[in-house]
Amino acid sequence: MALNTELTRLLACPKCLGGLSVLPAQDGLFCAACAVVYPVRGGIPVMLVDEACALAKWTGSQPAAA
């Protein structure tokens, strides 16, 4: 399921309130300021700080094990 581009323009990082960018595979939203990815599951962004994954550990729809 593709992300709604209008929705992604309204979202902000819950940690720093910075802007987010959609990853090319549309399976995550990236915050450059925090260097984390918020997963997108079933087309729904999971905007919880505890669900964020460091970009270096991001492997797709599910964050890599810590």
Task: Provide the number of structural domains found in the chain.
Answer: 1
CA 33 vs CA 15, 41, 62: distances in Å: 10, 22, 21
Inside any domain, residue 66: no
Write the CATH number for 44.
2.20.25.10
Distance CA 51, CA 44 (A): 13
For residue 26, is it left (φ>0), alpha (ψ between -120 and 50) or beta? left
pLDDT tens per residue, range 1-56: 678 878 888 999 999 999 999 999 889 999 999 999 999 998 889 999 999 999 99
Inside any domain, residue 27: yes
Inside any domain, residue 65: no
Give the predicted TM-score (pTM) of the model.
0.84
Inside any domain, residue 64: no
Domain that holds residue 47: 5-57
